[in-house]
Chains A and B, each alone.
Chain A
């Protein structure tokens, strides 16, 4: 066989194909032109042209969250690279495997302030798991291989590959070889947990009276949802999921006490507060959960399972740390419980207490039945209508703010990877582009983007991308004519001084806006019309529908943890609190 020689641009795209990547999101520009030419000449890797580089990374991110496979974005140097930064930081904070390939000026120009030059390695350094500056065309295949390995292994995260233009020079050719194996001496990946610790963990459950299983995004990333559910069923204690962990344990199961944390349910936060054993799998005791760390779980023993040792003892010290892959560790725990047996009756009194909390202040999932004289729609009712219409089976992406919290509280996610939101960074503008990534991955599934009139305007240009590629996403716009979460804080802590949250007179007509991009727009103002409009939207299988729902502008998200307090210090409504 004669040796085949190809150039760096072709090698880069071919290496992506060898990584089984068939879809990338991007935006061309000068430094990336050789790569775009390579894309044109082949048909294994399809390129999706977005309208802004931030959206390219969010779309790759949404694709990754929904599928568990790495997402890929391609951008040019300078502004292309800097526009991608918010997307990269979003993926970093939520540990999402995304590979971002950025063009760079030719290597001899680096440092000369050349046109569209920016130090992408420097700018992205604090928000990547790792990054590469390609040093020679020949190393492109191995760099690609390493990038995907690092992005997807252990605790996942984004990897940047910065490619100087001369590395993809069409006239410089070399023999293409894709490495079968990688040798990386400094990247250990954790596997099983230590047997002794597994046994200890079960003993802690046996001696506990009031345990809780608290699971986060790491469980979903590790594809350990099935194991989490099986283990939880064997133990039989209350289960709570973080914002990032929703769907890992079925949201409609009685054993589930709802989301915990800042806007978690009353019962979930009370369970955490009163527990004598907190079993954390794939969560990181972050500040939206613990509230004041010095008042967190004082009476509880704590077990923490994490694939990232630096997450352990970072904020909350634990009694038993199991460093390992959540899926493997949960399998070990299941085996241990099965071999030794477990009597769930020991938690009977605990459940009585939990049921009491649930009855006292649990969320009302039947708000669609509420009526009011003015026929005003509450934002919670929109989520319940969405849940009802999609039977709880849709992929739901969201932006950031009140609508995000309402979606998390009221859409009882049954499956992992179906709730796609920016939990760590809290990126407004994430919802629509991430929904595009999900829709490309699952063209037949219902994909809803729950958003607000503030957030949606941050990446509204992607309505054009959706038109170009025929993506029938349903945009559910909870339109309260103001930046709702900011307004809520201003109501609660700033004496109702509404600083810079209003734009009511200058909002676009979202129906006309959607129509101008070739989509369908529907405006709903009355509760009595909500369900029908929702059903109509989802019945239009091949149309993007922008459902603009005017909701009560004065609604707040509750429960809400009181800043600086413990997890039991909550506001339950505008005039009711637990402290």
Chain B
């Protein structure tokens, strides 16, 4: 199971390249990455998943926090959390695909977005693992796929954005 890390960083030019550079520089793998501004325009929130070992994750958390632009770092898997990903898939055999999804992947949230030139774009939202098994099963049906990478958030009171002090949340 991949680990998931959330962080808040200064919304500054170069900040994202420092985060990504850290991974290549130290030889860590990133499986997915998503980044967007937060309600506070000076901060961006970044979520990444990585399949490294527990020891390496500890190093990654500390190394990330060491970056001057990084304000908060959180190991989402250390607390109870929700993790979701969205995928857009383009298929030609809409009916067949939809029936496969409804039969075996009912936990995925499915929407039909467009139908042009006999190609259909479907939107799927759900857990990354389930999404990935579906994509394996649909391999021969897919014309095009794009995925957001997983987003995550811890349950209850823990929140990256309401912490007063800069820190690593394990």
Binding site for B on A (CB under 8 A): 121-122, 125-126, 129-131, 133, 150, 184-188, 308-310, 312-314
Contacts and interface: CB of A to CB of B under 8 A. Distances in A.
A233 B111 CA distance: 73
B71 A185 contact: yes
Interface in B48-92: 55, 58-59, 62-63, 65-66, 68-71
A487 B68 CA distance: 42
Contacts of B166: 185-188
Contacts of A186: 9-10, 68-71, 166
Contacts of A313: 55, 58-59
B123 interface: no
Contacts of A188: 165-167
Nearest to B42: A185
Nearest to B55: A313
B60 to A, nearest CB: 9
B14 interface: yes
Which of B18, B63, B68, B69 has most chain A Cβ within 10 Å? B68
A309 B65 CA distance: 10
Interface residues of B, number: 22
A125 B21 contact: yes
B14 to A, nearest CB: 6
A311 to B, nearest CB: 9
B27 interface: no
Contact of A131 (B9, B14, B55, B66): B14
A43 B117 CA distance: 74
A310 B10 contact: no
B32 to A, nearest CB: 22
B62 A309 contact: yes
Given A125-B17, A187-B166, A188-B167, 10 more contacts: A121-B14, A125-B21, A133-B13, A186-B10, A186-B166, A308-B66, A309-B66, A310-B59, A310-B65, A313-B58
B116 interface: no
A145 to B, nearest CB: 14
Interface in B116-167: 165-167
Contacts of B59: 310, 313-314
A445 to B, nearest CB: 35
B104 interface: no
Nearest to B21: A125
B170 to A, nearest CB: 12
Contact of A125 (B10, B18, B66, B70): B18
Nearest to A314: B59
Contacts of A309: 62, 65-66
A126 B25 contact: yes
Nearest to B22: A126
A185 B65 CA distance: 12
A313 B14 CA distance: 29
A121 B17 CA distance: 10
Nearest to A125: B21
Given A310-B62, A314-B59, A133 B14 contact: yes
A186 B163 CA distance: 12
Nearest to A126: B25
Contacts of A184: 68
8 contacts: A121-B14, A131-B14, A186-B71, A187-B68, A187-B166, A188-B167, A309-B65, A310-B63
Nearest to A146: B68
A30 B55 CA distance: 48
B29 to A, nearest CB: 17
Contacts of A130: 68-69
A187 B165 CA distance: 10
Contacts of A187: 68, 166
Contacts of B165: 188
A313 B53 CA distance: 14
Contacts of B167: 188
A222 B110 CA distance: 58
A308 B66 CA distance: 8
Which of A125, A126, A185 has most chain B Cβ within 10 Å? A185
Nearest to B14: A121
Nearest to A129: B68
A321 to B, nearest CB: 11
Closest CB pairs A-B (n = 10): A310-B62, A186-B71, A130-B68, A126-B25, A186-B166, A310-B63, A309-B62, A310-B66, A125-B21, A188-B166
Nearest to B168: A309
Contacts of A314: 59
Contacts of A185: 71, 166
A220 B25 CA distance: 27
A310 B67 CA distance: 11
A185 B72 CA distance: 10
Nearest to B58: A313
A46 to B, nearest CB: 30
A290 B59 CA distance: 19
Contacts of B13: 133
A232 to B, nearest CB: 29
A408 to B, nearest CB: 29
Contact of B21 (A126, A308, A310): A126
A71 B127 CA distance: 51
A150 B17 contact: no
Contacts of B70: 186
Contacts of A310: 59, 62-63, 65-66
A118 to B, nearest CB: 15
Contacts of B55: 313
Nearest to A184: B68
